[in-house]
Amino acid sequence: MKLYYPLMLDLKARKCLIVGGGLVAERKIGSLLVAGAAITVVSPDFTAAIEAKGSSGELVLHRRIYDSEDIQGFSLVIAATDLAHVNKQIAQDASKEGIWVNVVDQPELSSFIVPSVVRRGKLTLSVSTGGASPGTARRIAAELESAYGQEYEIYLDFLSEMRLKVQDTVKDRQSRQTIFKQMLDWDVLEKIRNGTFTAWRQEKLDSFEQDST
């Protein structure tokens, strides 16, 4: 069995190439845009949504069929045409150049696959079945979506803020670790849900300032 290595890529301003302009390309483009990638799409035609993003300058569109030269200079490529032989050619071209490639109809030719994702601000939950059943990945992600509500965005922002404050002010590593551990036991989520968070947060920050001075 193939075991994929999960990681979190920073694609901000990275050049990514999508070949194909159909619905699958549209979905992959959507998630790459969220990650801030600099996207070029090559295809003889595009869905209305891709076209619109091209017109507004969010994407660079080239209205033509794929040529092997196209992949030069890209960090990551998605082969999303409906032609298996074209997708295979793209995979070969990318492998030759050492470029990460996702082939939407032939996972075995891909050097990475894309999970189903739930986002709550800084929290990212991603689910993969390793290609066994994308529908099941989607279903499990939907379960996580209801288990981890919008309050997690506020929660993570708060933990991040506190963590930076602690890193900034507590010099002793051991003490920092103790505080980080304690922070996990604070009943913050409940406070966000019942509307007492804002006042409590201010109190916490104030008392922390006093302690550290």
Ligand X SMILES: C[C@@]1(CC(=O)O)c2cc3[nH]c(cc4nc(cc5[nH]c(cc(n2)[C@H]1CCC(=O)O)[C@@](C)(CC(=O)O)[C@@H]5CCC(=O)O)C(CC(=O)O)=C4CCC(=O)O)c(CCC(=O)O)c3CC(=O)O
Ligand Y SMILES: NC(=O)C1=CN([C@@H]2O[C@H](COP(=O)(O)OP(=O)(O)OC[C@H]3O[C@@H](n4cnc5c(N)ncnc54)[C@H](O)[C@@H]3O)[C@@H](O)[C@H]2O)C=CC1
Q: Which does 115 bind (CB under 5 to 8 A by kind): ligand X, ligand Y, none?
A: ligand X
Contact at 8 Å (CB) between 116 and 136? no
* Nearest-5° Cα angle at 126, 177 to 86: 135
Nearer of residues 64 and 138 to ligand X, judged by Cβ: 138
3-class DSSP assignment, residue 134: helix
Nearer of residues 76 and 192 to ligand Y, judged by Cβ: 76
Distance of CA 133 to the CA centre of its chain: 20
Q: What length does the chain have?
A: 213
Compute the least distance from the CB of residue 126 to ligand X, in Å.
9
21 belongs to the binding site for ligand Y (CB under 6 A)? yes
Contact at 8 Å (CB) between 89 and 68? yes
Q: Tell me, what DSSP letter sits at residue 108?
A: G
Nearer of residues 42 and 79 to ligand X, judged by Cβ: 79
Q: Which does 88 bind (CB under 5 to 8 A by kind): ligand X, ligand Y, none?
A: none
42 belongs to the binding site for ligand Y (CB under 6 A)? yes
Question: Which residues here bind ligand Y, judged by CB under 6 A?
Answer: 19-25, 42-45, 65-66, 80-83, 86, 104-105, 134
